[in-house]
Amino acid sequence: QSVLTQPPSVSGAPGQRVTISCTGSSSNIGSIYDVHWYQQLPGTAPKLLIYGNNNRPSGVPDRFSGSKSGTSASLAITGLQAEDEADYYCQSYDSSLSGSVFGGGTKLTVL
State the residues that interact with another protein by CB under 8 A: 2, 33-34, 36, 38, 40, 45-48, 51-52, 55, 57, 87, 89, 91, 93, 97-105
Minimum Å gap between C-beta 27 and another protein is 14
> In the complex, what is the shortest distance from the CB of residue 16 to another protein, in angstroms, rounded to a whole number?
25
3-state SS of 40-107 is ECCCCCCEEEEECCCECCCCCCCCEEEEEECCEEEEEECCCCHHHCEEEEEEEEECCCCEEEEECCEE
Distance CA(83)–CA(60), nearest Å, equals 13
**Closer CB to another protein, 13 or 41, in the complex:** 41
Closest approach of Cβ 82 to another protein, in Å?
Answer: 23
Give the nearer residue to another protein in terms of CB position, either 101 or 110.
Answer: 101
Nearer to another protein, 6 or 80 (CB): 6
Q: To the nearest 10°, the Cα dihedral for 100, 34, 105, 21?
A: 150
| CB of residue 48 to another protein, shortest distance in Å | 5
Q: How many residues can be counted in the chain?
A: 111
Pick the closer one to another protein by CB: 16 or 109: 109
